Amino acid sequence: MKDILKNIWVKRGLAVFNLLYIAEVVLLTLATFYYDLEIKQGAQGAFFTVHFILSALFLMFMLYTKDMILTKITGLMLLPIVFFLVIFNMHNIIIFVPPLIVAIIMFFYISVHENIKVLLGTIYIMMYVLGIFAYFIFNMLFGSSAIETVLDGDLSPDDPVYAMYDMNYITQLTANDNTVSPDGTMEFYICDVQNKEDGQVIIYVVPHGQDKSFRFFTLKQKGIKRKVKFFYGRGKVPEVYWSGSNTLTYKMPGETEETNSYVVLPEKNYLEFIGVY
């Protein structure tokens, strides 16, 4: 067994195999740039366990092959790649913590010239500090302090918003066959908005059928959203239905006249992760 572990070709093979971890982190980074990664209800523990075990397994392989040139390159590349994973997922640390731990450990353990480590280490520290600082500045400048809660049948009774609305009516209103446009390309949803004023109820329209579902999580399309109408005050929701493939019709309870809105979705906003809407 010791002879096998000391075999140079075994080490080289594992060094190549470690590239799969780079590929996983890159794919996860790209996925969370284009989509919101939402862990399915009740699957948080399973997702983190699998994510942690994979990271720990590849960390052992990397430490074993830390003298291989390919592993040295991998160890130097991980921190800047994980930086973007951190920035895109500041709201969900479960996603980036295991790769960040692997990247930090490998950076210190790979055997490269100390001058290279000092130089790159300084650059990476500045990248993380300035990047995270810029992230919070942009979110403070462009982000909103309002709290939006989607009103549908999945809203928990424990949520303070739940008691403010007729949830039986909302469940019927937001049934899938009512929210999806006749051509199946768009769907609407209704949000309760808690802000510094009296609050609002907003009708949003987003693409339909562009989410990608996996075993433990769902990649939900983001950055494509149209605010169709907002109503001041909270506690009441409008009557809403599709009267055409691109036409949404709505009115508040008590009103006699309906309003029609022709809906065209905007181009994808790639800067939503820093609060630019």
**Residue 20 confidence (pLDDT) above 90:** yes
**Residue 277 confidence (pLDDT) above 80:** no
For 107-118, how does the pLDDT look when each residue is reduced to its tens digit (9 = 90+)? 998 888 889 889
- Residue ranges per structural domain of the chain: 2-142, 147-209+223-264
| Separation between Cα atoms, residue 174 and residue 180, nearest integer Å | 9
Return all residues near 41 (Cβ < 8 A) that are at least 6 apart: none
Can you give the pLDDT at residue 141? 87
Can you give the pLDDT at residue 91? 87
Q: Are 204 and 189 in contact (CB under 8 A)?
A: yes
Copy the structure tokens of residue 138: 């942009």
Give the pLDDT band of residue 53 (cuts 50, 70, 90). very high
Q: Are 148 and 188 in contact (CB under 8 A)?
A: no
Can you give the pLDDT at residue 4? 60
How far are the Cα atoms of 51, 78, 104, 131, 160 from residue 101, in angstroms, in the given order?
A: 12, 10, 5, 18, 37
Nearest in space to 274 (alpha carbons), one of 131, 100, 95, 149? 131
Give the pLDDT band of residue 58 (cuts 50, 70, 90). very high
**Residue 148 confidence (pLDDT) above 60:** yes
Give the pLDDT band of residue 3 (cuts 50, 70, 90). low
Mean pLDDT of 237-249: 93
For 22-49, how does the pLDDT look when each residue is reduced to its tens digit (9 = 90+)? 999 999 999 999 999 999 888 888 999 9
Tell me if the pTM is above 0.75. yes
**Residue 2 confidence (pLDDT) above 60:** no
